[in-house]
Amino acid sequence: MHTLLRQSWISLTLRAACLTLSATLLNAQTDPNLQQVERIWKSGQTLPAEVAARFPNPPLQVPNDTGINVLVDLAHQCAFATMWGLPAKLHPLGFRSIVSHASLHTVLTPGQLSRARVPVGRAMDGKPLRPFGWVPNPRFNVLITYQSDPQAQPYLPDERSAVAAFVHNGGGLVIVDNGLARPDKQRLEPWAEHSLATSFGVDFQSFIAGKTSTLLDSTWELMHQGDRPGAGVFSRTAGQGRIVLVSALSELDPGNQAPRTLADAKQALLKDIVTWAAAGSPPVGGEARFSQTHGGGGGIYPELEERQQGAVVYYARNQKERLLAAVRQEIPTITRRLYAWLPSPVPEEPMFIILAAGGGGGWAVNAFYPKETGTISLDPVNLFGVFAHELAHTMSGPRNAQGEAAAHWFDGNQGEAHAGWWQGKILALYSDNKSMRDCNTLFQIDPNAATVDLGLPNRGAYEKWGNGAVWKKLWWIWQKLDDRYGTTWYPRWRWVQHTRWQDQPHRQLSLDQMVEDMSIACGEDLFPFFKRLGTTLQRDRLDQVHFQGQALPLPIAPLDLSPAGNARHDPIADFTQPIRPPPPPNPNPAD
């Protein structure tokens, strides 16, 4: 789960960084064509090709453009390192790239239509409008496909045929991982049938049977020696095309913490691999008007879709049936539950859900329309949790009287702690683990619950103790509040915040102000509790506060530092009314 949280934090950072808008964006309220687009996307439909063609993407700005088009396949394992990281490495090398969640036989045919976002203009509230539209596939020189988990979505027969034709007609294929350097034969067994590399002479079956000492025959050449036995980069020709096997993604991507010299060496190797793989066909050239990810899951989205109540689900033809069945059965229920627990404005348009390949994360799009929730999971229960996490990123809670959300705290408002809290509610509902994200394991890293200081300024707690420790402490605190005040306190907190700061809607709240809002919501003073938790605050006590023209006395909340209870799923009450806390526990039960 830490991997999921770390990846989701990456998605939050990317969401905050996007978008660079084109100067050609138009106003959807004055142009009849754009009004037509509004009607189409709000109905959940993908723009027809003739409509999408009116809004071409701007050409990619690629320095020292080689004219080589690269397709990065995500339909057999989606990872943030390939979805967002790899294009950022390819473009400076002069290669034009687009990532794709669609099955390979739908995107490798030039001119056939695929689903992508198109830059239309701005919606009524000023956000960029990038609806889904059907656009013609470009031609590609190179296909890069990555898969490290043999349990991930398979390469279908139609995909294998399309890839084989692509290569034999001059295309370059770069297969990353696919079991090439697995440390033992037992782990290789799933790859014997599953791996795309078997289509090009990699002999897993014989190796497992002990008939050969290597997976590769003499037609393969060593292009680069890796750091361990069996690791490296291998190449061969096939028809007019070329194939490269890369034993692990780490051969190309050393990670963000790698020394500069190592990162430069990996970048140089990536350039050599793509350049060699592309040599079987002339560069496509011309303009590359590829849709890019913009913090979401694009450029090319899955080709199939299903309509559900309030949602449109996109999935590739190779998606696992058990995941599809789970989505059909439970995603509408989870959506209803979350909106019931945290009343938030429900968009008039449907939620667009992308079922990605592989396992380990998700993303959410809030910065432009249509909103998008991406899920990466191989387990239905984990998928439910990822979906809840990403949907919660789009839910800011009950609005104030002006119909707005006001002010924000650095990680309480649609941030990772908030999203992880609602993820925990769903995971506890669908699994045998009823805890709130195992929040009581806080005591393993913060034994007296007073070490991790949430009050350090400018995200200082995150820098000192790490994201996981801070989120764990917040979930434990919030579960303690759930234990005492019931499930209504959280939506009431949001409503109090949005109401109290409605004249300063863009204010960034201090932790003191956040605790004030929470205290008003709970009807008791939480400052002494937070102080006992080692929190740096400007005040020690909030015995009285003014809210909605009334002076509210706030007794000290009788909260202890014991483990929190299990996640609660009770219906909420009227969040605009004061919570009546239960009487404090009797310190002398015999009395």
Asked if 552 and 546 count as a contact pair (C-beta separation under 8 A), the reply is yes
Q: Is 89 left (phi over 0), alpha (psi -120 to 50) or beta?
A: alpha
Range of the domain at 406: 397-586
Helices (H), 196-303: 204-208, 260-277
Q: In what order do the strands lie in the sheet with 311-315?
A: 304-308, 311-315, 351-356, 372-376, 361-365
The answer to the question of residue 40 being in a domain is no
Of 253, 280, 307, the last residue of a domain is 280
| Partners of 235 in beta bridges | 221, 244
Backbone phi and psi for residue 29, each to the nearest 5 degrees, phi listed first? -90, -10
> Residue 213 has what pLDDT?
64
The answer to the question of residue 451 being in a domain is yes
b/e 150-168 (16+ beta carbons within 10 angstroms → b): bebbbbbeebbebbbebbe
> Residue 273 has what pLDDT?
97
> Residue 177 has what pLDDT?
85
> Residue 228 has what pLDDT?
74
Write a three-state SS string for 18-82: CCCCCCCCEECCCCHHHHHHHHHHHCCCCECHHHHCCCCCCCCCCCCCCCCEEEEECCCCCCHHH
- Other C-beta atoms closer than 10 Å to the C-beta of 46 total 22
> Residue 464 has what pLDDT?
94
CA distance 378 to 154: 12
- Same domain? 91 vs 223: yes
- Same domain? 66 vs 210: yes
- Same domain? 576 vs 436: yes
The answer to the question of residue 150 being in a domain is yes
CA distances from 582 to 483, 486, 524, 579, 590 (A): 11, 10, 11, 9, 19
Asked if 496 and 402 count as a contact pair (C-beta separation under 8 A), the reply is no
- Same domain? 429 vs 578: yes
The answer to the question of residue 146 being in a domain is yes
- Same domain? 412 vs 559: yes
Of 226, 250, 280, the last residue of a domain is 280
> Residue 93 has what pLDDT?
97
How many CA atoms within 13 Å lie on the side-chain side of 566? Answer: 10
CA distances from 410 to 415, 490, 515 (A): 8, 17, 13
Q: What is the domain-level CATH number for residue 150?
A: 3.40.50
- Same domain? 401 vs 256: no
The answer to the question of residue 541 being in a domain is yes
CA distance 246 to 167: 17
> Residue 50 has what pLDDT?
95
- Same domain? 269 vs 412: no
> Residue 31 has what pLDDT?
67
Of 260, 280, 300, the last residue of a domain is 280
Q: Which two tokens stand for residue 456?
A: 């350090």
Which is it for the CA torsion 103, 108, 112, 115, positive or negative?
Answer: positive
Question: CB neighbours of 508 closer than 8 A, spacing ≥ 6?
Answer: 407, 408, 409, 410
> Residue 188 has what pLDDT?
81
Q: At what angle do helices 467-485 and 511-522 cross, to 10 degrees?
A: 20
Longest dimension (CA), the chain: 90
The answer to the question of residue 7 being in a domain is no
CA distance 489 to 468: 24
> Residue 15 has what pLDDT?
39
> Residue 16 has what pLDDT?
36
Identify residue 378 by its one-letter amino acid code: L
The answer to the question of residue 473 being in a domain is yes
CA distance 199 to 162: 11
What is the total count of domains within the chain?
A: 2
The answer to the question of residue 268 being in a domain is yes
Which parts of the chain sit beneath pLDDT 70?
1-32, 181-184, 211-213, 229, 587-591
CA distance 229 to 213: 12
